[in-house]
Amino acid sequence: MADIILAGATGLTGGLLAPILAAQGHSLAVVARRPVSGLPDSVQQIILPSEQWPAEIAKQRFEIGISCLGTTIKKAGSKDAFRAVDLELLRAFAVAVMASGARQFISVSSTMADSGASSFYLKTKGQAEDALRDCGFGRLDLVRPGLLKGEREEFRLGEQMGILLSPFMDHLLRGNMQKFRSIQAADVASAMAVLAGRNEDGSFLHHNVDLLKLAGK
């Protein structure tokens, strides 16, 4: 039986994180709507429609849940569809992981996530964080990276423009503003792997500076 279950392994950060966890010797399961290519044979793949995830997860026992779930309004097709993934699916996944006996949950969020924000995106991300806090995990790690850099399957125009400008913009973002700098998804994945299994109880926010330290940068 796996000790970690990961959702979002088909995405940028999750796709980088899964092999790291497996290489570290963790017993890992990934849950997805389609098979995840390139994973070691030791990784259990739970391939089901997302609405069936909670029932299947709750049947098993896990110590740690990790979410790299996330989409964009453009890719999802509407605000409601975006909310269905970044809030509703994430919450359902977390509740099922909690029911499986997990004490720790790690989730990728957004730098300015705030349930009181005027931005629909940031408000939804903030509501998702609140929902995770309400689950009652012994330890909750909310990862808030800046602009993620890495090779995605899909092209995102706004993101690519931001990446092109990031060397200049990153130089201007200093002090407390460093959390808005760009960051390699590989460093975020490495940091999340380090967080997995941390014993201290509580709810923790991790911005760029923390993530880079965890990743050994």
Per-residue pLDDT at 202 exceeds 50: yes
Q: 32-89: per-residue pLDDT in tens?
A: 999 998 898 999 999 999 999 999 998 999 999 999 999 888 888 899 999 999 999 9
Question: Residue 175's pLDDT is what?
Answer: 61
Query: Which residues, including other chains, have CB under 8 Å from residue 116's CB and lie 6 or more apart?
Result: 123, 126
What band does 21 get if pLDDT is binned at 50, 70 and 90?
very high
Tokens 């975020």 -> residue: 188
What band does 157 get if pLDDT is binned at 50, 70 and 90?
very low
Per-residue pLDDT at 165 exceeds 80: no
Sheet with 139-143, strands from edge to edge, namely 44-47, 28-32, 4-7, 64-67, 104-108, 139-143, 202-206
Q: 95-152: per-residue pLDDT in tens?
A: 999 999 999 999 999 988 999 999 999 999 999 999 999 999 999 999 999 888 766 5
Per-residue pLDDT at 155 exceeds 70: no
pTM of the model: 0.88
Question: Residue 116's pLDDT is what?
Answer: 95
Per-residue pLDDT at 188 exceeds 90: yes
What is the pLDDT of the chain when averaged over all its residues?
Answer: 88
Please name the amino acid found at residue 59: K
Please name the amino acid found at residue 50: S
Question: Residue 166's pLDDT is what?
Answer: 47
Q: Average the pLDDT over 144-173 and give the result.
A: 58
Per-residue pLDDT at 162 exceeds 70: no
Please name the amino acid found at residue 66: I
Question: Residue 80's pLDDT is what?
Answer: 95
Please list the alpha-helical segments (H only) found in the chain: 12-23, 53-58, 73-76, 79-83, 90-99, 120-135, 157-172, 185-195, 208-214
Question: Residue 174's pLDDT is what?
Answer: 61
What band does 163 get if pLDDT is binned at 50, 70 and 90?
very low
